[in-house]
Amino acid sequence: LLSLGTGTTSEFDKTHTAEETAKWGALQWMLVIQQMTEAASSYMTDYYLSTVFQDLHSQNNYLRVQENALTGTTTKADDASEANMELLAQVGENLLKKPVSKDNHETYEVALKRFAKLLSDRKKLRANKASF
């Protein structure tokens, strides 16, 4: 299973003082709650799937690809400007050089190549079985 995320912001890394949050209105609180819910859902889905694949001794058959520190215009899903597309392409290029996780120091580039070979080998195996 190749799980492709749409990315998340580093918004949750920011801390706010009591004085700041005391000035927030209902809309600000609703946006914060929505962001937290979306992030939690993404993390929980990844955690659940990776746990299931580990339990099946198939952890090499699951790869989640997601950038978790988007900033600026790269966080806007409706910005299809040429400049933003170039920024997103750069985000992808940079992501390829990052490790998959704290526990897995394999880079996304290496992991995706390994995953592609795995899928190719399985397709060839199915094709060979079908020809018999």
> Residue 92's pLDDT is what?
93
Contact yes or no for 76/84 (Cβ under 8 A) = yes
What average pLDDT does range 93-99 have in this prediction? 95
65 φ/ψ angles, rounded to the nearest 5 degrees: -115, 115
Output the six-digit token pair for 97: 């050089």
> For residues 63 and 69, which has the higher predicted lDDT (pLDDT)?
63
Res. 17 pLDDT band, cuts 50 70 90: confident
Kindly provide the b/e burial profile for residues 19-52, where b requires at least 16 CB atoms within 10 angstroms of the residue's own CB.
eeeeeeeeeeeeeeeeeeeeeeebeeebeeebee
Q: Please determine, for residue 12, whether its predicted confidence score (pLDDT) is greater than 60.
A: no
> Residue 20's pLDDT is what?
85
Task: Give the range of the structural domain holding residue 29, as residue numbers without chain letter.
Answer: 2-130
Residues 6 or more apart whose Cβ sits within 8 Å of residue 66: 3, 4, 5, 6, 7, 8, 42, 46
> For residues 11 and 129, which has the higher predicted lDDT (pLDDT)?
129
Q: Please determine, for residue 107, whether its predicted confidence score (pLDDT) is greater than 90.
A: yes
What average pLDDT does range 4-27 have in this prediction? 75
Tell me the residue length of the chain. 132
Q: How many domains does the chain divide into?
A: 1
Q: Please determine, for residue 114, whether its predicted confidence score (pLDDT) is greater than 70.
A: yes
Which residue in the block uniquely carries the two structure tokens 């859902």?
Answer: 41
Cβ atoms within 10 Å, residue 14: 7
Residues 6 or more apart whose Cβ sits within 8 Å of residue 45: 3
Chain mean pLDDT for the chain:
85
